[in-house]
Structure 1
Amino acid sequence: MTKHAALWNPLANDSHPAGWISSDAITLSNLIRQGIQPSPLMVCSGGTSSRCAADGLWTLDLRARHRQMVISEAGDEVEIGAGLSMAEVLEGLQTRGRSIPVGLSTVPGCGFVLTGGISPLSRSQGLAMDHIVGLRGVWGNGDCFELSAPVSPHEEQQQWRGLLGAAPFLAIVTAIRLRTQELTPLVIWRSIGSAQQLSIAMEVAEQWNHSASLQWTWNERIELFIVCFANDAAAIKAVESLKTRLGHCPESSMTMVPGQHAQPPFGSLARSTDLQGRIHTEIVSKLGPAWGQRWPALMAELEQLMRRRPHPGCQISAQQLGGKSSQVPVSRTSFLHRDAIWKPWCTAAWSAGDTKGRDRALEWLWQTNNLVSDYCPGAHLAQIHPHLSCHKAELHDAFQDWLPGLNQLKTHHDPHGLLPPL
């Protein structure tokens, strides 16, 4: 078959896969037992990652056959097919006055949830992953599974822990059951800021103990993006105080929206003009503690790197964690960095077909990532990179002493390496 629809990620969309698979879980199980070659199998749920399709490899496109959405009678739980985007999930839930925490973009699919699900609401509601109560799918060996959140230690606890944060290496998840939250209006403040204003905002944000969270992206300009609940008086007061301390900020706006389904696009203020032509990207994400007094030194080096970026699409961004996201025991999921306060990510960009431009962009990415790693030693595998030289280091930085346990799960559940390698 052909792909269900164009992929959001241009690099993946421009690839030439061996073919496309669209099937229910039973048929997929049979296909896996018969053997799918060559491997690894690529999996597309939202179409936003650079490895949801690749040259010469098969892609399983979940977007056509796994689109169910079943909300419980009380509205406190929802089952979603892994082919739905976060925008579609939010749209369905908001009709019942419910929601789940999603990211700065609502375009991604369920891979966002399974790899952690870091959100502007993570400080007050935890990671999206922390709301999962049930999973269905097919292991890499072809066995079908249906799991519920374990209530006591047993064999399934290891499987559960592996799937929450490392599912892309072990299984194809076809459905997720999550707890929902009451849909609550949000206040969002956006502006352009200087490097000095960013430094002040980060210093202040690291002291917050309410629902407000700071996000920023640095491209042609620096965009500040703060989100808090509209019913959190302490958070709104803190944001107003920060605005006063920062002084004049160009293009400053403070708006109330009914929920994340209506949040403005993050990053749009950081560029004065849209990028022209077909742009390919790779994104590497890190996790780490508060930067505190170390931030000025990092800022100085980042300014140097931003002056040398080889393409206008190359940029650095970050979002704030902490609060409720830090309260889940490390041993419960494969998201180990529960003490993380910041998730910075670096984006390398180049014009499609420009091989030398790709090399320059990736070299800039490694330089930037190496610098940020000194401050944020953990990795967040929102996108995986088995095709890049950083893959092994990323696995170590993401999973640390849990990596041997994940390899044991992979040996049992994906013995022939159908899915990407650990």
Structure 2
Amino acid sequence: MTTTASSPVIDTARRAKAAAAVLAPQPRTARDGALLAIADALEARTAEIVAANAEDVEAARAAGISDSVVDRLTLTAERVAAIAADVRDVVALPDPVGEVVRGSTLPNGLELRQIRVPLGVVGIIYEARPNVTVDAAALCLKSGNAVLLRGSSSAYASNTALVAVLRDAVESAGLPADVVQLVPGESRESVKELMRARGLVDVLIPRGGASLIRTVVEESTVPVIETGVGNCHVYVDEHADLEMAARILVNAKASRPSVCNATETVLVHAAVADAFLPRALSALAEAGVTVHGDEAWQRAGEQAGRPVVPATDDDWAAEYLSYDIAAAVVPSLDAAVEHIRRWSSGHTEAIVTRDQSAARRFTSLVDSTAVMVNASTRFTDGGAFGFGAEIGISTQKLHARGPMGLPELTSTKYVVTGDGHIR
């Protein structure tokens, strides 16, 4: 049922719905032309974008926001150029719209085709990073969707400037400017209105921390694709190559700890604990990682002179997004699986083993978006999977699961062609 209310947010959603109807039948050349115009406009108006961003950065620093968050918020001329390059990369990706998923001629002569079509109006609710504004808009346009963008208040000036550039570029390419819109308002009330614009917004995709995602999932009446929370695990099996296991563990935890595919817990089979724990403690310490461990890890830490913080249930549940890792010794592969089933967010888990039967058992028993064998959890990513780009990692099971590339931003419909057929 479509809402009959009226407000700035609802009126914006109505314009998006009308624009989506115009965009949907456009050929690839029109959508790609708009994306190329966006890339050119970003470069031409870089000074304007950076100046607006400076307002957000100054306000963030005055508010005492951490340096890491300020860095994610900051746009420089070089970063704007990189964003423009990313838009051109999206142009080169295969077009999902109109792809025939399956087709056949039925016994009665009817021709049946299932084809990909745009979702319609996609709402994106996200935090901090203004580059998401352009990334999300580009992926939605490429897949034929109108997009409603609701970033955090900390990036409001940046997002306002970016969306103005996007809208002008889209309109200059002959498409309705309203296929890209910033949701008006900086209050939580505007977010709530977006979440309840059922019938005008076809799907919401939250990108951010656990609290944001939980709020959108629990309070939205618009369908939601749940993304991002990553309590990922590495299990070191009794048949593991321990040198390989240490390399994978350090990469999975420390190469970029603030992202959702970073490992947050390591589980080690008791049969190799005496050999592996000292090696792991040393490697993690060199990478600057603090270990929150069970009694076995604490004992190993005392013996190695590398203190281990006692772990609690809060640690097993934590998505640290920092140089911290939870660690436990388990008696068996099945015990590792049981731990993962209890605490995992369903994002990515990895096993390190030379035993193919152990690998097969682990991959069959672990029910997560991605399961790695002798590889880092950091590979769960649209680019790493060869999709070219992604709008997020879906950790749910309906419609989309895993890295969401362009095909996941479409739905399907059936086109049935007859010759006077009646039933």
Indicate whether the TM-score tops 0.5. no
Bigger radius of gyration among the two? 2
Higher strand share: 1
Higher helix share: 2
TM-score bin, normalised by smaller chain: under 0.3
